[in-house]
Structure 1
Amino acid sequence: MSELKCYGVWDAGIRWFHWINVLCVTALAVVGLVILNAGDLGVHNAGKVMLKTVHAWIGYVFALNLLWRIVWGFWGNRHARWRSILPGGRGYFQALRRYTAAFFSSQPEQYLGHNPIGRLSVIAMLLLMATQAVTGLVLAGTDLFQPPIGHWIAQWVAAPGVAPDSLAPYAPEMYGASAYEAMRAYRKPVAVVHLYTFYILAVIVILHVAAVIVTELREGGGIISAMFTGRKVISGCPVDEEPCKSDISS
């Protein structure tokens, strides 16, 4: 029987990002679904403004946390860095084929960091979340006149004689009709991308959670607990540990 060894894997920066992100995505999804179904739920304009304001403020935390993760990809430990996350590169596709074959065998390969399939999942989620962050910031500006573009949107749609800084959401008497219609036409494709990216992200997140559970059951190693403790307990030699790399290539 192989000896169990404890390895430090996820640093504090990664763990904080992960759990803040889980809370933000969950809260954004719940509030967003309420906004999406506000008409059926009988929510009036004042309620919509409140919900959208809450959604936007959570979105700011989400966007800043995502920006932190992007930066930490250059400064974190070796498992947090982009070279350990981005799919592709020398030997990646060979490792992907080998991992996939081993996963369905009686001897699955164990990784300290993200396995080759996990890299694909992580990058897909990061790209989708970045899309949500950018489109969400645009929508916060067009719906609520909030930063970073709300000031320019307010200047665009303010009716003659109305101070842009005084504009309020759902106050059509304060808007120039033609400018407001033009702004809504600009907003529409952004809102569509935001909505359908949410649906895709929801599916990817569900698949990600399912994959983590299945991998934990098949391979062990404490994948789930490692996001709390930062450590994995693995029997044998992980594929992405330097001595094992030497063994595989020899």
Structure 2
Amino acid sequence: MKKQYLIWDLPLRLFHWGFATTLLLLWLTAELGTDYIDWHIKLGYIILVLTSFRIFWGVVGPKHARFSQFMPSPSAVINYLKSHKSVDAKVYAGHNPIGSIMVLLMLLLVLLQASSGLFVDDEVFSSGPYFNAAGASVDKIMRIIHLNTFDFILAAIALHITAIIFYKKVKKQNLAKAMLTGKKDAEKLSAEDEISGSRLGLALIVLALCVGFVYWLVVINPPPMEEFFY
């Protein structure tokens, strides 16, 4: 049996699969229409919690989760694209430069999508907590963003899945399995690449802070809704 190193911590793996599942459910509830709008809104709050958690975990989590470890430079991206087909190409324990761009892009797109949803209504029964808070012109812009950004998210997901298939078939690296088990084969890695643990206690504290932040954002902070009587 091949020796393996622990690369992806458990909180990061739980985030990854929870993030993917929540995006799928958000798409499904949007497609099903207004009967599922309340679920769609609640899932939007969940994706805000998850995205907030990933941003904080990118600062305080184990090394391969940290943005400082995989923030790509233009030269790193160019060198990776030039050498990735070579048998001697560098093997990254964490995210490679292209994967790093995908992580950052996905977080940015989802944060934009979820934030814009706070200003949108369904023109029937439900509305985001900040609808009408900044004026009709802001609501209009946010609605346009919310209705169109998910197309870019779907494109990013398609690229991500294509990359997973490419790495599995061509480079013989099972990225999906690594994100399930947290481990990668040690053949082209070193003991220094392995993380010592998942920091579960810290992850629970960060998650609690993120839940508290989103609760404040969508329940406590929004201005009171205007009531209309007919």
TM-score > 0.5 by shorter chain: yes
How many Å apart are 1:75 and its aligned residue? 1.6
Q: Which runs of 5+ in 1 are unaligned?
A: 36-47, 157-181, 243-250
What is the match of residue 136 of structure 1? 117
Alpha carbons 1:222, 1:233 under 8 Å: kept: no
Structure ranking higher on relative contact order (CA contacts 8 Å, 6+ apart): 2
How far apart in 1 are the matches of 2:167 and 2:21?
A: 23
Q: Which runs of 5+ in 2 are unaligned?
A: 195-230
Q: Counterpart of 1:81 in structure 2: which amino acid?
A: R
Q: Counterpart of 2:174 in structure 1: which amino acid?
A: G
State whether structure 2 residue 61 is matched by structure 1 residue 76.
yes
How many Å apart are 1:237 and its aligned residue? 3.5
What is the match of residue 47 of structure 2? 62
TM-score with structure 2 length normalisation?
A: 0.73
Aligned equivalent of 2:36, options 51, 69, 89: 51
What is the match of residue 82 of structure 2? 101
Alpha carbons 1:87, 1:119 under 8 Å: kept: yes
What is the match of residue 14 of structure 1? 12
SS at match of 1:219: coil
SS at match of 1:138: coil
State whether structure 2 residue 144 is matched by structure 1 residue 192.
yes
How many Å apart are 1:236 and its aligned residue? 2.5
What is the match of residue 25 of structure 2? 27
Aligned equivalent of 1:86, options 68, 71, 81: 71
How far apart in 1 are the matches of 2:182 and 2:189?
A: 18
TM-score with structure 1 length normalisation?
A: 0.68
Counting only pairs closer than 5 Å after superposition, residues 147-158 of structure 1 correspond to structure 2 as: 147=129, 149=130, 153=133
How far apart in 2 are the matches of 1:136 and 1:77?
A: 31
SS at match of 1:87: coil
Q: Deviation string for 1:100-151 (max 9, x for gaps)?
A: 222223444321100011111111111101101101122269862454x36x
What is the match of residue 105 of structure 2? 124
Structure 1 or 2, whichever has the larger Rg, is 1
Q: Pairwise CA RMSD of aligned residues? A: 2.7
Q: Counterpart of 2:17 in structure 1: which amino acid?
A: W
What is the match of residue 235 of structure 1? 187
Runs (4 or more) in structure 1 with deviation over 4 Å come to: 140-143
State whether structure 2 residue 146 is matched by structure 1 residue 217.
no
Q: Deviation string for 1:49-82 (max 9, x for gaps)?
A: x321111011111111111111111121000011
Structure 1 residues 84 and 218, CA, compared in 2 at 3 Å: closer, same or farther?
farther
Q: Counterpart of 1:112 in structure 2: which amino acid?
A: A
How many Å apart are 1:199 and its aligned residue? 0.5
